[in-house]
Structure 1
Amino acid sequence: MQSIPSIHPNNLRLFSLLLLLFLVCLTGNSQATDGYNLWLTYRPLQDKPITDTYKKLTEKICFPAGGQTLEVARDELDRGLSGMLGTTPSLQEEISDNATLILATYSRLPARLQKKVGDMEMAGEEGYLLKVVKDKERPVLVISANTDTGLLYGTFHLLRLMQTEKSLENMSLVQTPKTDIRVLNHWDNLDRTVERGYAGFSIWNWHKLPEYIDQRYIDYARANASIGINGTVLTNVNANALVLTPAYLQKVKALADVFRPYSIKVYLTARFSAPIETGGLDTADPLNEEVGAWWQHKAAEIYDLIPDFGGFLVKANSEGQPGPQNYGRNHADGANMLAKAVAPHGGIVMWRAFVYSEHDVTDRAMQAYSEFVPYDGQFADNVLIQVKNGAIDFQPREPFHPMFGAMPDTPLMMEFQITQEYLGFSTHLVFLPKMYEEVLDADTYRDGKEATVAKVIDGTLTNKELTGIAGVANIGTDRNWTGHPFGQANWYGFGRLAWNPYLSSEEIAAEWLQMTFSNDEAFVTPMTDMLVDSRETVVKYMTPLGLHHIMDAGHHYGPGPWIKDMPRPDWTSVYYHKADSAGIGFDRTVATGSGATAQYAPEVAEIFNDAEETPRELLLWFHHLPWGYKMENGRTLWQNLGLTYQEGVDEVKEMEARWEKMAPYVNKQQHEQVSMLLDIQLKEAKWWKNACMTYFQQFSGRPFPEGMEKPEKPLSYYQSLSFPYAPGIRPSWD
């Protein structure tokens, strides 16, 4: 038997070291390429001239030490520069005369630099300044703020500029958030299921808390801080009162302690009946003194544990949730009772306006307006009314909610949905910032003047001191956080628009693509176009021409225009499309319909009342029109409906072809993942087209239009499909 040659100890040590380095690189590369690091990849920069410029800029960094927030800012700067420049930066605490980059709060800058930086009052509590100044005849980039929080945001801004290879020459800007409260709403349940969650289970492991702190909690906080999100609502709006009990509050405290260095406050949903369910009272009447005292005691208990607790989010008298109307009271009564409990501690109440009653036979789109507008100006100063972007329910397209133009004396908080409940779940590529932008740019014509929704929610229209914007999170335990790699863009885009509602979706898309994948123009330009167009594509193959809420019942997965005979009419599809032999669409005009258009300002109502003036994309939202109605392109409504569905399908095919060409710029794992998801999206786009057009044809009595691919199956086949285990289904309520 041949003997095995011996290995010299030195060679063995060298081999072991090389193996270890290989495994470390493999692990690090896996984390960088599987989507876990989100847009904070900090991959090495490829542009040598700009890399050399950045290296010179970071030769001498002065970053004074401080509390926990400054510590995480310093760590992030070290992480970012090491990853992008391949060098380990040397950070010194003293501000020296030969510094090339200085990051310090304004109070710690030398007097000479304070003078050159200028007045920092405009930066406020969260803003920051980035400015190149001459110091001792040398250019120095100064990042300064009034607070450690502002400096943390400024650090992330610098890293974003470097990730996107922007020039820092002659830099001079001051950034401040346009809204105060910028929160993610997690519809997460205590059993770790997520209502409308399509990326795994809840990231909050309540069973292991408070002792076990998952690294994911820290990385979640980093990601949110990088885009200026400053709050998180941990629990579902369909609330569970258990989260307010002492054992769970200790768990909430543990999360708050993790998030605090990243300047993120924790909020909880308050179940209105909690005084009965966990407090031993026999009523939750908001005007009952014992009930008010119970909530005040509960608030004090929470703030003793979590001094910077943000406050409560409330869903009341909606979809079976208890509320003040159970006791003959109104929304102002309920909100103000809770507001009084948290006010001494600096807390706020976010009271959702998503309400509709089975006892109200009027148009569902009108009900929130009817319940809230009469109480304009009657809510406490620390109450925000949280209003969905549209009056129905996060549809692929809705006109802006009429409440935004009708409550000048009440702070209104925008609620967007980041998770794709009605937009293909996490299997469809849909860039939602384009939809957000459409709503924010809409003009409410409040008081007959330019009054965009953005100006309403940021308070500039009526000088509101308390402002906010919320997004229903799309985050779960999937390794890449959001299920679909491009779902991350919606989380990112929400944060950027919450900070500044006037950013363009094109700018946000390009930023995210550069930070996540590549700075190569051959990748960024075509992919930016694809992202920006993707939302319109989905509208075309799901709900074209203003159709809405025709998804299957309950789970909302796939088409279900035939849904009827539900416990409530407004849970059915036929309630919304009203297709019959005469035509299709929901008449909301004043003259012949529900009158919902009257809830808008006269300038807006005039447009929506006239079918000829109503934007084509909202036509069937406001009008019931004949199948033969001639549209501006000379085709009938029926022809346009079918051809628009077909356009949506064809555009998904184009998305597939474009993505195939992007292979050189994206790692193989993610490229294959997105390719598979686009295959699903194409299959389901065809399904939507075929099912809806086959269903509607029985009413139109017309042949499918030329240019539309004919359905492959009869209507009975599409109606027979069942998905009892579709993800994200709402749990049953007790």
Structure 2
Amino acid sequence: MRIIILLLLSMISFGSFADDGYRLWLKYDLIKNETLRKNYAQKLTTVSTNFSDETAKVTISEIQKATSGLLGFTSKTMTSASQANLVLKVGSIANKNAEAFEIISSKNQINITANTSKGVLYGVFELIRRMQTLASLENIKIASAPKIQLRMLNHWDNNNGTIERGYAGMSMWKWYELPERIDPRYIDYARANASIGINGTVLNNVNASARFITSEYLGKVKALADVFRPYGIKVFLSVNFASPKILGGLKTADPLDPEVKQWWKNKADEVYKLIPDFGGFVVKANSEGEPGPMDFGRTHKDGANMLAEAMAPHNGLIIWRAFVYNFDPKGDRFAAAYNEFKRFDGEFHANIIIQVKNGPIDFQVREPISPLFGAMEKTPVSMEFQLTQEYLGWATHWVYEAPMFEEVLKTDTYAKGQGSTVAKVIDGQLFKYPLTSMIGVANTGSDRNWTGHPMAQANWYTLGRMAWNHEITSAQIADEWVKMTFRTDAKSTETIKKLMLESREIYTNYTNPLGVHHVMGESHHFGPEPWVEKAPRPDWTALYYHRADSIGIGFDRTEKGSNSVAQYHLGLRNKYSDINTIQPEFLLWFHHAPWTHKLQNGKTVWDEMVTRYYEGVKSAENMQKDWASLKGKIDSETFENVEARLKTQLKEALWWRDASVVYFQKYSKMPVPSPYQKPTRTFEELKSLVDVYHVR
């Protein structure tokens, strides 16, 4: 009878071996290993807490969900710790970080202790993760604390329900229903974020509508803040710098104008009266047409400091984005952010964080690090990654981003000699920042599976795990995520992990080999358009970046060219400056390399480019084969979804390969190297595909 009940529970929980992806990595399906399940059960039959706030309620609820699904019973709450198997306690631990926790297990009891109830919640999710990944609960002794203070998602959502660069449906936020109705999805969103340590969320697009800080919308924001608070998540808003004119009827938004200053102070007071733990404002100013202080002859420092003064009485933050660049056809957009912000280092108020994209251009397939990470010694800089795949094939290409993030974080800035990695900059070690932050542009939407491509959920998971501990590897994160998401046999797990870990390099090879960059479709940023030479501004064209001609290809950023490489500290500058020793992946970022230039492997630049284009497509074909081997091993709905997307990915990879080879061959005048065959489609045929894909 017991076996029948367990089987029924398994079928109900697992949806009869079909899964729509809604549960993300929080799939509490019955553990099949009966011995392990019994072992876990002995330690989780009863649970007690010594705190009773709203976080305690969601913490108990989560452990009960987990035991019900994973173990087949629901843990009972006890008032006495001595009678409980699992003891959850707010107390004093060695690490004084408010989010730190300790887990210590003995033969009959597991103790999770933290300085705050939020820390206990994180500890519970760590315990659940261990069960989901089938790890032992014997003799646990864990002490964990986040390396980054603010770990946040930034939603580029608009109040009309659209998402800028969103590929998973419409916005999750149903503004027309708020504040009266709370969609249950908001709670599941909060659970997912808390499970990976994310503690902040920006609800709206950085290209911000001023409407979000009106009384009408602040009431809606408050409703979401109330939902997220028990899960340790603070709410932030992007603001339009011209709001005093748009909403307040002022004649100016000049940050040095007394009326403007007072308007923002009044607005901050209004926000915090409604939401006392509001996180702060995110600002995109004087970038891509957005208003900012430079419209009034002021500087980014003037604008940021004015807003910081308004927020300071409430302990609110200003997160000021460094994504700025000017109209300069003879300049180098690469250098713009450094030129604008380095000169003000140390002059920003204490509650300001400068938010810097991982690279100097714009979330390209592979970028060298932004020079600002080694330059801002007195002003905290935040890492901004992009989870949504704006330049990584949208939702039809499988790209696991953890290797990219890991590559960036491990890059040495040489700011204080060798070993001055980006990770040590953003976690505050190197320059002793009082504020630290890592932010990911969200890839979530209204699609039932949250992220469109089922495997893109791993990128959301990665952001939280790496922000908590940037020393965790891409492989470790992949192992966790696969085991939590699919619960499959060891061989299948290794197959999925292999696909994940290779996917980013595969995509890079068939789209942007050797440091080719910014050759995607103009405006929509999908598919190949290396031929784009006209756009609203020169640095939105492809020719501005690849500079292909009869001699070679690439943007010379050495001292013979734009000399943007000089923005790096000497150790990194030397690595990038020598065309003969530079890492091949960054060659065309820093050098206009002759087509005939020999790389260290003996191949010419042209032959190596073509080889990577073709081998990337071959690898995309192999991805299909590897995935096909999983049929019957994972749920049918996910299998068929990914299978179909891989077919589309291969079709689009072939388009990338053929368009790039045919176009660049016009300049190189060199044959496609053996054993590869020249593309059969003409340049005109390949170019016409842009119109087909543009409507997507």
Q: What number of residue pairs does the alignment pair up?
A: 691
Instruction: Measure how far apart 1:55 and its partner are.
Output: 1.1
In the alignment, which residue of structure 2 is the partner of 1:389?
358
Q: How does 1:500-579 map to 2 (within 5 A)?
A: 500-579=469-548
In the alignment, which residue of structure 1 is the partner of 2:297?
328
Q: How does 1:604-615 map to 2 (within 5 A)?
A: 604-615=572-583
Gaps of 5+ in 1: 1-17, 107-118, 729-734
1: CA distance, partners of 2:125 / 2:96: 16
* Mapped contact 1:518–1:665 kept (Cα < 8 A): no
Instruction: Measure how far apart 1:141 and its partner are.
Output: 1.5
In the alignment, which residue of structure 2 is the partner of 1:246?
215
* Mapped contact 2:519–2:546 kept (Cα < 8 A): yes
Out of 414, 419, 425, the position equivalent to 1:456 is 425
In the alignment, which residue of structure 2 is the partner of 1:358?
327
Out of 78, 95, 112, the position equivalent to 1:122 is 95
Instruction: Measure how far apart 1:524 and its partner are.
Output: 1.7
In the alignment, which residue of structure 2 is the partner of 1:290?
259
2: CA distance, partners of 1:686 / 1:200: 26
* Mapped contact 1:517–1:665 kept (Cα < 8 A): no
2: CA distance, partners of 1:725 / 1:24: 42
Q: How does 1:340-419 map to 2 (within 5 A)?
A: 340-359=309-328, 361-419=330-388
* Mapped contact 2:13–2:30 kept (Cα < 8 A): no
2: CA distance, partners of 1:410 / 1:269: 21
What RMSD over aligned residues (CA atoms) do the two structures have, in Å? 1.8
What is the one-letter code of the residue matched to 1:586?
F
2: CA distance, partners of 1:580 / 1:287: 48
TM-score (ref. length: structure 2): 0.97
* Mapped contact 2:488–2:634 kept (Cα < 8 A): no
Q: Does 1:483 align with 2:469?
A: no
Instruction: Measure how far apart 1:332 and its partner are.
Output: 1.0
Q: Does 1:155 align with 2:140?
A: no
2: CA distance, partners of 1:581 / 1:152: 61
CA 1:337–1:121 in structure 2 vs 1: closer, same or farther (change >3 Å)? farther
Q: Does 1:99 align with 2:84?
A: yes
Instruction: Give per-residue Cα distances to partners, 1:127-180, cap 9 Å, x unaligned.
Output: 1100124xxxx5422111111100111111100010001112221111111111
Instruction: Measure how far apart 1:32 and its partner are.
Output: 7.2
Q: How does 1:45-444 map to 2 (within 5 A)?
A: 45-64=31-50, 66-96=52-82, 98-106=83-91, 120-133=93-106, 139-359=108-328, 361-444=330-413
Q: Does 1:659 align with 2:615?
A: no
Q: Does 1:620 align with 2:593?
A: no
Instruction: Give per-residue Cα distances to partners, 1:1-57, cap 9 Å, x unaligned.
Output: xxxxxxxxxxxxxxxxx9xx9999669717971100000011111223222210111
What is the one-letter code of the residue matched to 1:55?
A
Gaps of 5+ in 2: none
SS of 1:259's equivalent in the other structure is: helix
* Mapped contact 1:178–1:498 kept (Cα < 8 A): yes
* Mapped contact 2:152–2:438 kept (Cα < 8 A): yes
2: CA distance, partners of 1:363 / 1:640: 26
In the alignment, which residue of structure 2 is the partner of 1:669?
637
Instruction: Give per-residue Cα distances to partners, 1:208-254, cap 9 Å, x unaligned.
Output: 11111111111111100110000110010001001111101111111
Out of 589, 595, 602, the position equivalent to 2:570 is 602
SS of 1:302's equivalent in the other structure is: helix
CA 1:374–1:296 in structure 2 vs 1: closer, same or farther (change >3 Å)? same
CA 1:708–1:520 in structure 2 vs 1: closer, same or farther (change >3 Å)? same
Instruction: Measure how far apart 1:63 and its partner are.
Output: 3.1
CA 1:300–1:31 in structure 2 vs 1: closer, same or farther (change >3 Å)? farther
Q: Does 1:687 align with 2:673?
A: no
2: CA distance, partners of 1:724 / 1:181: 41
CA 1:187–1:727 in structure 2 vs 1: closer, same or farther (change >3 Å)? farther
Instruction: Measure how far apart 1:103 and its partner are.
Output: 1.4
Instruction: Measure how far apart 1:712 and its partner are.
Output: 2.7
Instruction: Measure how far apart 1:727 and its partner are.
Output: 7.5
CA 1:32–1:126 in structure 2 vs 1: closer, same or farther (change >3 Å)? farther
2: CA distance, partners of 1:76 / 1:266: 22
1: CA distance, partners of 2:643 / 2:16: 19
Out of 532, 545, 552, the position equivalent to 1:583 is 552
1: CA distance, partners of 2:244 / 2:533: 38
1: CA distance, partners of 2:11 / 2:669: 63
SS of 2:15's equivalent in the other structure is: helix
Out of 637, 641, 648, the position equivalent to 2:616 is 648
2: CA distance, partners of 1:471 / 1:167: 32
Instruction: Measure how far apart 1:635 and its partner are.
Output: 1.5
What is the one-letter code of the residue matched to 1:628?
T
2: CA distance, partners of 1:208 / 1:724: 36
TM-score (ref. length: structure 1): 0.92
2: CA distance, partners of 1:294 / 1:30: 57
1: CA distance, partners of 2:552 / 2:171: 44
2: CA distance, partners of 1:23 / 1:440: 43
CA 1:724–1:525 in structure 2 vs 1: closer, same or farther (change >3 Å)? closer
2: CA distance, partners of 1:701 / 1:586: 20
1: CA distance, partners of 2:471 / 2:343: 30
Q: How does 1:716-731 map to 2 (within 5 A)?
A: 716-723=684-691, 726=694
2: CA distance, partners of 1:149 / 1:356: 40
2: CA distance, partners of 1:120 / 1:723: 60
2: CA distance, partners of 1:602 / 1:179: 27
Instruction: Give per-residue Cα distances to partners, 1:416-447, cap 9 Å, x unaligned.
Output: 00000000001111000110000000000002
CA 1:422–1:697 in structure 2 vs 1: closer, same or farther (change >3 Å)? same
CA 1:625–1:350 in structure 2 vs 1: closer, same or farther (change >3 Å)? same
1: CA distance, partners of 2:119 / 2:415: 34
* Mapped contact 2:43–2:108 kept (Cα < 8 A): no
